[in-house]
Structure 1
């Protein structure tokens, strides 16, 4: 059976992750439910690591998205080490956007791969979608795709420098739309280096919700990552938090932060499943030397239209 939760109004304390088992050592997870009902989860490193599950509880390591690593990756990562996949299903095929970079560099690129099944080893690389150079004040990492209520495609990304951005995508190619090359600034923070990362935009009702990771990741039990959200009437913003502060002015309402053994939750994505919207993320396990592990919670919606994890 599927992992299930009991809905409730938001609690005073952050919820623990739902129960998962098996191979759950992951970073920057993104999960899709295939047309056959199987769950496939992809994550950072090793050609984009793959795990499968039949019940959304027990996960088994199942190779990687890529068996042969594209040669162009070496221009952005000497170890050809891809990050932060975003996997979804549109127009009869599976799409995976991902980042290729090296830690501390904004010479970065977002790539696209396509598959007819979504399964590991089945992906065909389509090359670079968008890139940033060392001379830029932003960083093309952590991509995620949104198809809005009008059928327009948007790719959000960012960024250890100056926060989160989005661009229009051509549904026919999965690449940037040639007739609209604007880059929209969605979120930043007032303090250097202005880092807001791992954006994911979800439409719920008539509103758009930008989830993003703030503060420091990738430091085990010293990580300070946390997940915040803002809401907008347009996929390009402006996104405001519960108190009315623009995410371009440091706003953001907390969804998850460190609590107990669950340190630095972030790198999140959302899967719309049969029982609701599922928040998928990593955290660092304080009871296991800070090992990054899979976290899953369903999202509830309060009476004012704000999401909360439970």
Structure 2
């Protein structure tokens, strides 16, 4: 006889909210005002958290749980990219390639396509060590099919791929040089995720685990909940599709293409957690694969400046990420 709990576990990726979700893991120190976090761990064991605002706010901690301490701005002079928003940088992505750290960031203003993705480098991650290199060449303006914000970089078999996009026609990808400071010669952008009904997809993050590349992204309204709360279910949530290739063919758990509205829910509003998104994934040496993100704690407040840092471990044993 098969246990009911076994059947439920097997169905978990498909039924999502029917079982509820684990609450965010412990967080101490500065856990508030953490939009679009990016987590990286230095070889000495220090965790760095980079986030939107404050010219890329930098916090450090001895563990993902904290205590998180503010260290300053990664780019205190803003970006050299000549666009509005170059002193209010968004959605950082930090990776290590060889002995160098690369910080990707967005220059834009809310609701427009006059946007660009920039990059800075450091050999230590510390504040006051970052050199801004300016634009990667990924840029958008009115009339483009995409908005050039929310960068994510992955090395897929020796090819660096930059995945990006927000609304318009959602999420795109382009091949980069090596090292990935600019677009590869002759490379063109390709759409890898799109919901033609809402177009409300952004914040892509590709994570390679086992035999698949998992495309995590945020869907729905991200911000302004204190002044314009969306209809139930239209707030931010974290979705996923997967593919055996980093460049596409992403489908959800039911087999629907991610370029045709497909997407399986990974984490959405539950209990006191509202509007989780702006996520990334990190294979932590102590905790295993973790999903990290920002969210509203409804017992604290809905304002953008009250967004909290959240994280949960991920179980990939079914072939789909379960929080």
Q: How does the TM-score come out when normalised to structure 1?
A: 0.91
- Match 1:99 to one of 91, 97, 106: 106
Q: 1:159 is paired with a residue of what secondary structure?
A: coil
Distance 1:175 1:22 in 2: 36
Equivalent residue for 1:203? 208
Gaps of 5+ in 1: 1-7
1:16-58 CA-partner distances (Å, limit 9, x unpaired): 1001011111100001001211000000011100111012221
**Range 98-107 or range 274-283, more displaced:** 274-283
2:193 paired with 1:187: yes
Unaligned runs of 5+ in 2: 1-7
Q: Distance in 2 between matches of 1:23 and 1:272?
A: 22
Root mean square deviation, CA, Å = 1.6
**Aligned-partner Cα distance in 2 for 1:38–1:220:** 33
1:13 aligned to which of 20, 25, 47: 20
Q: 1:17 to 1:173 in 2, by over 3 A?
A: closer
Alpha-carbon offset, residue 89 of structure 1: 0.8
Give the drift of 1:237.
1.1
Structure 2 residue 266 is the aligned partner of structure 1 residue 255? yes
SS at match of 2:81: helix
Contact conserved, 1:66 with 1:122, CA < 8 A, in 2? Answer: no
- 5 Å-filtered alignment, 1:18-37, equals 18-25=25-32, 26-37=34-45
In the TM superposition, structure 1's runs of 4+ consecutive aligned residues that sit over 6 Å from their partners are: none
- Asked if structure 2 preserves the Cα contact closer than 8 Å seen for 1:220 and 1:289, the reply is no
Alignment of 1:82-97 (within 5 A): 82-97=89-104
The whole-number CA distance in structure 1 between the counterparts of 2:317 and 2:43 is 31
Q: Does residue 1:42 correspond to 2:50, yes or no?
A: yes
How much does 1:173 deviate? Answer: 4.6
Indicate the SS of the match to 2:307.
strand
Count of matched residue positions in the alignment of Structure 1 and Structure 2? 296
Map 1:1-310 to 2 at 5 A.
Answer: 12-25=19-32, 26-57=34-65, 58-73=67-82, 75-77=83-85, 80-129=87-136, 130-148=138-156, 150-178=157-185, 180-192=186-198, 194-220=199-225, 222=229, 224-275=235-286, 276-290=288-302, 291-303=306-318, 305-309=319-323
Structure 2 distance, partners of 1:139, 1:201, is: 18
Q: CA contact under 8 A between 1:76 and 1:109: conserved in structure 2?
A: no
Equivalent pair of 1:200/1:210 in contact (CA under 8 Å): yes
SS of alignment partner, residue 322 of structure 2 = strand
Q: Deviations over 1:75-122 (max 9, x none)?
A: 232x62100000111111111111010001111000001000012221
Q: Distance in 2 between matches of 1:175 and 1:243?
A: 36
Shift of 1:134: 1.7
Q: Is the 8 A contact 1:163 1:188 kept in 2?
A: yes
8 Å CA contact 1:114, 1:123 repeated in 2: yes
Greater radius of gyration (CA) = 2
TM-score normalised by the chain length of structure 2: 0.88
Deviation at 1:294, TM superposition (A): 0.2
Asked whether the 8 Å contact 1:29–1:282 carries over to 2, the reply is yes
**Which has the larger strand fraction?**
1
**Any conservation in 2 of the 1:29–1:44 contact (CA below 8 Å)?**
yes
Per the TM alignment, residue 196 of structure 1 is displaced from its structure 2 partner at its CA by 0.9
DSSP-derived class of the 2:314 partner = strand
